[in-house]
A and B are shown apart, each in its own frame.
Chain A
Amino acid sequence: MSDLGHVLVLAGGLSYEREVSLRSGRRVSEVLRAAGIDVETRDTDSSLIPSVLADPPDAVFVTLHGGAGEDGAIRSVLELLGVPYVGAGPDACRVAFDKPSAKAVVRSVGLRTPDSVTLPKETFHDLGASAMLTRIVERLGLPLFVKPARGGSALGASIVRTAEELPAAMVGCFAYGDTALIERYVEGIEVAVSVLDLGDGPVALPAVEIVPDEGVYDYAARYTAGHTEFFAPARLSSEAAAACAEMAVTAHTALGLRDISRTDLIVDSSRLPHFLEVNVAPGMTETSLLPMSVEAAGQDLGTVCRFLLESAAVR
């Protein structure tokens, strides 16, 4: 039995990823209970603060994806309440969650990340979309990957292979956010590298390779079991695998993250990894990548989650 009295798992929220978050929350609660922890699972609503104040948990596991869960907001609230939690603090989250900001930080420490341009909706409206889109294609080339600057689960994201597809991709992107990140699309092996800090500094777990049946790792491919084939560890040469691991740990450190993160990257035909984005509250569902990495590393998810909570509780 752990020294932890009771812990709180936060799941749900009002972001687009609510459903995924609820699934992550259920999974984390389940493995923690199996690890002997007294777990309470809560949504984030107006009853949260009174409830935490009335019966403060020893530590909180945040499985809120997107929006407040990853942009630092809920972590600021937890700081205000004086409740310890697993994962990065609000300032680091704010930067990491904003993909263009995270790219700028990792580029500044020498990591490779695809060329991109970040533009808000208003700019297209004010300056005229047609000329800007033409210039973007000229400058970055094709194919492109368009995604909201903030958000996850590939919502609003799409690959653009011809210039004609770009306007619809922009509309799809702006459905999920007001600012778009338009990135040169790098063909290659899609991998995710989870990083855990179990007391000895951040360590990369085995990379997970993602091979979606339809070629695109979209929402359906992410959350429908059977629609994507995963290889853990990824089918990479040991040099490429080491480069991916190093990239993930460097990104984790450069962004000031703590305890847990997942970096998504592409390994190109020259076996070089390219940083795409980092997740501060990685998915924990049955089809999520971090739990696969934990298993591939020969570790138990419940034990890992319990350790992270115990570390947070004494922070």
Chain B
Amino acid sequence: MDHGQTAATQGSRIDAYVDRYAARATGMVASEIRALFAVASRPEVVSLAGGMPYVTALPLDVVGELVADLVARRGPVALQYGSGQGDPHLREQICEVMRLEGIDAGSDDVVVTVGSQQALDLITRIFIDPGDVVLAEGPSYVGALGTFAAYQASVVHIAMDDQGLVPADLAETIARLERAGRRLKFLYTIPSFQNPAGVTLNLARRREVLEICQRAGLLVVEDNPYGLLGFDGEPMRALRADDPEGVVYLGSFSKTLAPGFRVGWALAPHAVRDKLVLAMESAVLSHSSFSQLAVGQYLATQPWREQIKTFRELYRERRDAMLTSLEALMPPGCTWTRPAGGFFVWMTLPEGLDSKAILPRAVAERVAFVPGTGFYADAQGAGNMRLSYCYPQPDRIREGVRRLSGVIEQEIRLRDTFGTGSAPDHIGVDTPGPDLA
């Protein structure tokens, strides 16, 4: 086309550095889905999307006093740099927490991290070259998938059912990938109250998964933020409890205390631990001393086991509210998981519906969820959505499910009208922000 005579030959791209970004930044673009989550943050919207713990249930006055006392008594230490591995006393306390899940570990093998998310980042950083394979449940935690993508890992999903990851599929996938000459680096798994599926790997399968990975010489990265938030009985025995050399365990105080402290950790075999410490120092020098000491003080002076029990009861009530409402209100064809702990229900929509296409209408009806595609690295999940019950009160959960059921009924009608419930692909897959992950 003739562009005429008066104009510039070089346009503006707004961003002067557009040609200089790393390849891993390619997917970092604005998206419709993220824009919709901006609306979901308004109080008018019942958000069944967020994975935010209900920190209001903490004795905030006590936490306030504890923090004030920390500054008054130990200010010069709390406000100073710390060690790359983390505060030694807190690492001892972390070992005490892990004993609840059968883990017998020394504090020297613990590295304190900025939430378990940073532990995940560091693990990926030290193990993954572009193109290396990470095995992960399908679906899997959106924040982990984002990290794997950032390091250009190739994620291969392993099937799940109501009892968690399917060992036979794990074994077959490992064999297939090895035959194809792929470089497998680790299995990433959330065995208890999985995010987003809400299911738990049963004990027999835990043994099988460890055996399969041992045979293949494959490291297991066990991410266990919800392990102490089970609604029935004692906490499940962690994978790490039965294989200290084959498992890197990631833990977090984000759900049992508060995410605002950003204190998580990795428990790793010695050699891995050494690399994690060096990676940690190169990333952030050291974790916040203030946060670590505050968490340590909390654990030392407060009835933290009782607080976890309070959280469990609160989340159980909310889980019940969600399951009862789903049962009463969802149209035929919808199915969902029944979590025995944690924060999430994974819903499967009637045939042909696309959760991405449903989200805008849901937001217009003042209810939000996370479309299932965000929990897969390979564009699966359009027929699923994650519903969280951790943050809204039970009556809001019931109202949210009521609104959502109406939206899904409309979508079924739309599907029947047009013979498809899917929208064009450009609506895209996206990772929600930290409050939603």
Cα(A237)–Cα(B21), bound, Å: 35
B422 within 8 A of A: yes
Residues of chain A within 8 A of B5, CB atoms compared? 237-238
Query: A229, B418: Cβ atoms under 8 Å?
Result: no
Residues of chain A within 8 A of B4, CB atoms compared? 235-238, 240-241
Interface size on A, residues (CB 8 A): 60
Query: A169, B424: Cβ atoms under 8 Å?
Result: yes
Query: A167, B30: Cβ atoms under 8 Å?
Result: no
Q: How far does the Cβ of B132 sit from chain A's closest Cβ, in whole Å?
A: 28
Cα(A276)–Cα(B428), bound, Å: 25
Chain A residues numbered 209-258 whose CB sits less than 8 Å from any CB in chain B: 209, 211, 216, 218-220, 222-238, 240-241
- Select which of B7, B358, B363 is within 8 A of A233 by beta carbon: B7
Q: Which residue of A lies closest to B352 (CB)?
A: A171
A183 within 8 A of B: no
Residues of chain B within 8 A of A125, CB atoms compared? 413-414, 417
A108 within 8 A of B: no
B60 within 8 A of A: no
B6 within 8 A of A: yes
- Stretch touching chain B among A77-85, A172-180, A301-309: A172-180
- Stretch touching chain B among A17-25, A52-60, A98-106, A194-202: A17-25
- Which of B11, B17, B29, B36 has the most CB atoms of chain A within a 10 A radius of its CB? B11
Cα(A206)–Cα(B235), bound, Å: 67
- Select which of B2, B11, B15, B426 is within 8 A of A237 by beta carbon: B2
- Select which of B11, B30, B419, B427 is within 8 A of A129 by beta carbon: B419
Question: How many A-B Cβ pairs are below 8 Å?
Answer: 147
Q: How far does the Cβ of B225 sit from chain A's closest Cβ, in whole Å?
A: 28
Chain A residues numbered 1-31 whose CB sits less than 8 Å from any CB in chain B: 14-20, 22
Q: Does more than half of chain A's interface fall in helix, strand or loop, or is it mixed?
A: mixed
Query: A16, B39: Cβ atoms under 8 Å?
Result: yes
Query: B42, A14: Cβ atoms under 8 Å?
Result: yes
Cα(A147)–Cα(B34), bound, Å: 20
Query: B361, A175: Cβ atoms under 8 Å?
Result: yes
Query: B38, A18: Cβ atoms under 8 Å?
Result: yes
Known: A129-B417, A189-B1, A216-B426. A223 touches B30 (CB 8 A): yes
Q: How far does the Cβ of B355 sit from chain A's closest Cβ, in whole Å?
A: 11
Q: How far does the Cβ of B404 sit from chain A's closest Cβ, in whole Å?
A: 15
Residues of chain B within 8 A of A115, CB atoms compared? none
- Which of A125, A158, A174, A233 has the most CB atoms of chain B within a 10 A radius of its CB? A174
Query: A172, B14: Cβ atoms under 8 Å?
Result: no
Cα(A286)–Cα(B14), bound, Å: 8
B73 within 8 A of A: no
Cα(A222)–Cα(B14), bound, Å: 11
Query: A165, B424: Cβ atoms under 8 Å?
Result: yes
B215 within 8 A of A: no
B324 within 8 A of A: no
Query: A18, B35: Cβ atoms under 8 Å?
Result: yes
- Select which of A124, A211, A236 is within 8 A of B11 by beta carbon: A211
Cα(A218)–Cα(B420), bound, Å: 22
B271 within 8 A of A: no
Residues of chain A within 8 A of B18, CB atoms compared? 225-226
- Select which of A19, A189, A228 is within 8 A of B13 by beta carbon: A228
Known: A171-B421, A175-B423, A241-B6. A229 touches B29 (CB 8 A): no
B327 within 8 A of A: no
Cα(A218)–Cα(B423), bound, Å: 14
Query: B32, A219: Cβ atoms under 8 Å?
Result: yes
Q: How far does the Cβ of B281 sit from chain A's closest Cβ, in whole Å?
A: 33
Chain B residues numbered 386-427 whose CB sits less than 8 Å from any CB in chain A: 413-415, 417-424, 426-427
B56 within 8 A of A: no
Q: How far does the Cβ of A163 sit from chain B's closest Cβ, in whole Å?
A: 13
Known: A158-B426, A227-B29, A237-B2. A167 touches B360 (CB 8 A): no
Query: A171, B414: Cβ atoms under 8 Å?
Result: yes
Known: A171-B420, A175-B358, A189-B1. A19 touches B7 (CB 8 A): no
Cα(A225)–Cα(B19), bound, Å: 11
Q: Which residue of B lies closest to A207 (CB)?
A: B7
Q: Which residue of B lies closest to A235 (CB)?
A: B3
Query: B14, A225: Cβ atoms under 8 Å?
Result: yes
Q: Which residue of B lies closest to A287 (CB)?
A: B14
Q: Which residue of A lies closest to B361 (CB)?
A: A175
- Select which of B6, B11, B36, B415 is within 8 A of A229 by beta carbon: B11
Q: How far does the Cβ of B26 sit from chain A's closest Cβ, in whole Å?
A: 11
- Select which of A19, A130, A209, A236 is within 8 A of B35 by beta carbon: A19
Beyond contacts A219-B31, A226-B17: 20 other A-B pairs, Cβ-Cβ < 8 A, are: A14-B44, A16-B35, A16-B360, A17-B35, A18-B35, A18-B39, A121-B417, A155-B35, A169-B423, A171-B414, A171-B415, A189-B3, A209-B11, A211-B11, A222-B30, A224-B28, A224-B29, A227-B29, A238-B4, A238-B6
Q: List 16 A-B contacts (CB under 8 A).
A: A16-B363, A121-B414, A129-B417, A129-B418, A155-B32, A168-B420, A168-B423, A168-B424, A171-B354, A188-B1, A189-B3, A209-B7, A225-B13, A231-B8, A238-B4, A271-B2
